[in-house]
Amino acid sequence: MGFSSRMDCCGQFVKYSLFIANFVIFVGGAIVFCLTLWTLVDRSFVNELLGTNLFSGAVYVLLVTSIIICLVSFLGCVGAGKEVKCLLLTYFIIVALVFVTMLIGGVLGYVFRERVQQTMRQEMRSTMALYGSRREITQAWDLTQERLQCCGVDTWHDWNRYGLVPESCCQELFGGQRKECTLFPTVTNLYNQGCLYVTTNFIRDHAAVIGGTSIAVAILMIFGMIFSCLLFNMIE
């Protein structure tokens, strides 16, 4: 494999451009992998309250996609370095499929973002009735309210229809000690923000970081497809 003499200089430029683009794509894919893994570990307890695996499912898709991106970028580097047309063609097809998948996922996520929030509100309210009777739901609510410093779905008044306000809603003082708020809840002794608002902000913030990195990787993937197509045509 090689380039014709008059295309040698241009071919080498395209070859090393593809190699550099794939190296950056590999780094970007690794960053997305670390961010999605951190998101899963850091807030996995929220899933019990949502009543759906939509959030974790989307993160798992990104996790798998980032692994594929890393593997494909390595394939692109090998194809560019060895000047193997078969590898370049395989690289182009896989990158195009991944790019289309990411694009469709991004569009669907944007279109259904409001519906997802409404679904979250309904599911969180339904789990409140199970607080105290189901261990995993109780732990999920307590962890969410303690770590995110929130109470109820929209407000702490949501708990009034189900009984006393949970102790996990009480503001923390120091050393694990909490203010008394279960018998006489007020804005001065419990968390005032609703967990839906805090959780939505958490998902939005994480989605912004992961989405921004994914967009940057997607743009680089476009360059990767262009360079691989050019290099494929230049190789004799």
* Beta bridge pairs of residue 190: 170
| Residues 39, 126: Cα–Cα separation, whole Å | 24
Residue 165: HSE in the Cβ half-sphere, 13 Å Cα cutoff: 27
| Residues 102, 109: Cα–Cα separation, whole Å | 10
At a CB cut-off of 8 Å and minimum separation 6, what does 84 contact? 1, 78
C-alpha distances in Å from residue 183, one per residue of 36, 99, 170, 180: 40, 54, 11, 7
The predicted model scores a pTM of 0.65
Give me the residue spans of the domains in the chain. 10-112+208-234
Identify whether the C-beta of residue 69 lies closer than 8 Å to the C-beta of residue 217: yes
Tens digit of pLDDT at every position of the chain (236 positions): 554 444 567 777 877 888 888 888 888 888 878 877 877 776 655 666 665 556 666 677 778 888 888 888 888 888 777 777 788 888 888 888 888 877 676 666 566 555 666 777 878 888 888 888 888 888 888 888 888 888 888 888 888 888 888 888 888 877 667 788 888 888 888 888 888 888 777 767 766 676 677 777 778 788 888 888 887 777 76
pLDDT digits (tens, 9 = 90+) for 50-92: 655 566 666 777 788 888 888 888 888 887 777 777 888 888 8
| Residues 36, 206: Cα–Cα separation, whole Å | 9
Identify whether the C-beta of residue 152 lies closer than 8 Å to the C-beta of residue 183: no
pLDDT digits (tens, 9 = 90+) for 189-201: 888 888 888 877 7
